[in-house]
Structure 1
Amino acid sequence: MRLLPKSDDCRQTSHADSQCKSDISAKCLAPDSDVSRIVLRVSSGVLIDDGLICRCDDDADRLHWDEDNKMALTWYHHERTDWLIQYQFCTTKSRKRKCLLEDDVAVVIKSPKDSWNPTLQQWICSCLNGRYHMDSWILRDNIRPGKQFWEYHYTCDKRPCDVGQPCVRHYLNRAASQTIGFKFLCTCPEGRLCQSSSEGKPQAYETDGHDKDTGPFILRYCRPVHGWDRQPWK
């Protein structure tokens, strides 16, 4: 089962294509920051293994959910907030100061553009309920020439979308019409999703707006989840 649309550049936050995944037989090289495993929990409570990225020293491969969030980052799925995703680490994460503002960036994760190896870059502050919201992800240039990486930002809250309000900005490179980022504006109600992918390749000349920091963007809106009422595991 594919949880997210097919990605052509390993930019998706989970379930990246097989050619993007790291060698899961390898040990985590940076156990304090490497994401070891990704687990999805749907609203019925069913756990779905969304990928073993690397192995911890204790070789604990058992599928589980870290209820205390002591060794995990737990966040609401960016398309469906009735789903939770957990990035699990090899080591305990120390409790940071509480975030002062709900829209402050609390956690930053990064991964190379051409491979799916998510790592913890910064844990700035902690949310009161221990759950985070995807705020945005953006393509960054690395220090090494020609190398780029995706940077993912998480906040403590994301307000519900008003009727008719766009839920996400999809940013494009003006020259090549390639995706360079997403900014999530609000959360869709139950039974609807904020689809970050599109049918076909979007073109920069078809954009809905432009901001000076990131560039042109396409607006996307909440849409019904196909067959939502018939999903026994939803």
Structure 2
Amino acid sequence: NQKSVTMRLYIPAALYMVWLCPCLLAGSTEEKPLRECGGQHVCTTLMRYKDGTIVNEGQYCQCREGAAFCSQEWDGKDESRLTWQHYERAHWTVQYRFCTPVFHEKKICLPGEMAAIVETDVNTWEPYVSSPRCVCGSDVSFKIIGWKKEGGVWKYFYQCEKEECPAPAQTLNDVSVCAKMYIDTRKATDKVIEVKFLCNCPEGYLCPAKFDEKTDNKNVIHDETGSYVPKECQTILQKRATF
């Protein structure tokens, strides 16, 4: 049986990491009124974990069509949603909900075709689908292949296919690179300008898609795109209570 939990997730756009936080800000006794959703804005996000637990992070905005148009229920076929495999832990699934069917009558994506682009301001997490181009086949989730900062906007790119990385033990040097994190080496902080995912880490591993100030500055490599830090599949540490 699936379990349902309602919580608010705050996700900084720069890292796009998902973690659970209290619904209210410290010292606040009530939530601020919700803004009205734009035509292709995400109204809420659902997270589904390996054990079937579904977490609703709470609405970002209010549908002008009415509250019922921002569904709080997980749906695998609704055209008012974008379901994608979590970039860091492949056994987590994320579902963006929209007020309107933004993927209505979209064609099936061709192999390697860009399926959708999601954008948000770098300072405010208000995601919207700027380019809903095509949909994946039946029971196939979108895969995030990377994100990039362009001016004052973060852009997140989705396709339908993404290879699985080899387990580190299956490689010659016990290293399985899952992503390239491009940085601006001239900056002291907020260095990340682009992330390119090469593959999904296999079960039992995660792809650490965040910049580590302590170690990553020592691991910078250069290619035709720029300066980057290779991110490697890491073993997921087991805890007593975990999703």
Normalised by the size of structure 1, how large is the TM-score? 0.81
Relative to structure 1, is the Cα distance of residues 209 and 203 closer, same or farther in structure 2, using a 3 angstrom cutoff?
same
Distance 2:97 2:17 in 1: 14
8 Å contact from structure 2 (residues 117, 157) kept in 1: yes
- What is the root-mean-square deviation of aligned Cα atoms in Å? 2.8
The size of the alignment, in residue pairs, is: 217
| Deviation by residue 1:66-92 (Cα, 9 ceiling, x = unmatched) | 231321000000001111001100011
Alpha-carbon shift at residue 224 of structure 1 (Å): 1.1
Alignment counterpart, residue 234 of structure 2, candidates 202, 223, 230: 223
Equivalent residues in 2 for 1:19-38 (5 A)?
25-30=33-38, 32-38=39-45
Q: Secondary structure at the match of 1:160?
A: coil
Alignment counterpart, residue 176 of structure 1, candidates 151, 175, 187: 187
Question: Highest Rg: 1 or 2?
Answer: 2
Relative to structure 1, is the Cα distance of residues 201 and 87 closer, same or farther in structure 2, using a 3 angstrom cutoff?
farther
Quick check: 1:87 aligned with 2:91? Answer: no
Alpha-carbon shift at residue 56 of structure 1 (Å): 1.5
Q: Between 60-69 and 122-131, report the one with greater CA deviation.
A: 60-69
8 Å contact from structure 1 (residues 36, 52) kept in 2: yes
8 Å contact from structure 1 (residues 170, 179) kept in 2: yes
Equivalent residues in 2 for 1:113-128 (5 A)?
113-128=122-137
Alpha-carbon shift at residue 180 of structure 1 (Å): 0.6
Alpha-carbon shift at residue 53 of structure 1 (Å): 0.8
Relative to structure 1, is the Cα distance of residues 111 and 202 closer, same or farther in structure 2, using a 3 angstrom cutoff?
farther
8 Å contact from structure 1 (residues 14, 38) kept in 2: no
8 Å contact from structure 2 (residues 143, 161) kept in 1: yes
Q: Residue 224 of structure 2 aligns with which residue?
A: 211
Q: Secondary structure at the match of 1:187?
A: coil
Normalised by the size of structure 2, how large is the TM-score? 0.78
8 Å contact from structure 1 (residues 171, 217) kept in 2: yes
| Deviation by residue 1:27-57 (Cα, 9 ceiling, x = unmatched) | 4341x20100011001111111234211113
Relative to structure 1, is the Cα distance of residues 160 and 198 closer, same or farther in structure 2, using a 3 angstrom cutoff?
same
Distance 1:165 1:175 in 2: 28
Alignment counterpart, residue 153 of structure 2, candidates 141, 149, 167: 149
Unmatched 5+ stretches in structure 1: 142-147
Distance 1:113 1:202 in 2: 25
Quick check: 1:136 aligned with 2:140? Answer: no
Distance 2:9 2:124 in 1: 18
Alignment counterpart, residue 106 of structure 1, candidates 115, 119, 126: 115
Equivalent residues in 2 for 1:45-64 (5 A)?
45-57=52-64, 58-60=66-68, 63-64=72-73
Distance 1:55 1:182 in 2: 31
Alpha-carbon shift at residue 16 of structure 1 (Å): 9.4
Alpha-carbon shift at residue 179 of structure 1 (Å): 0.7
